[in-house]
Amino acid sequence: MSDVERGGGNVYADLGVADAAGMAVKASLAAKIGEIIKHQHLTQSGAAAILGMPQPRLSEMLRGRFRGISEAKMLECLNRLGRDIRIVVGKPSRSRATATGRTSVVFL
């Protein structure tokens, strides 16, 4: 029998990856971009042309290799795919007034 360890909700943090929170945000954005491309029945070449990036770069992003792609570029991709972006900065809760805030992605 092997030991099983419960994850903390962010696989990147669980693995000790630098900038785990940012990587989780990028993973969410990349997954949504892939979902939209599939829903719109686009080929990777067609999607890459719309997104303004080379097809191999898009392929890498969709496979989770997005370290060299900024969150801003991913948001631009979503805009180019016809999605509106809304950024909301919330107020801190009283218990977290001095703690570091969290970043999450919510799709409507």
What's the pTM value of the predicted model, to 2 decimals? 0.83
Question: Which pLDDT tens digit goes with each residue over 22-68?
Answer: 889 999 999 999 999 999 999 999 999 999 999 999 999 999 998 88
CB burial readout 52-65, b (16+ within 10 A) else e: ebeeebbebbbeee
Q: CATH classification of 13-96 is 1.10.260.40, yes or no?
A: yes
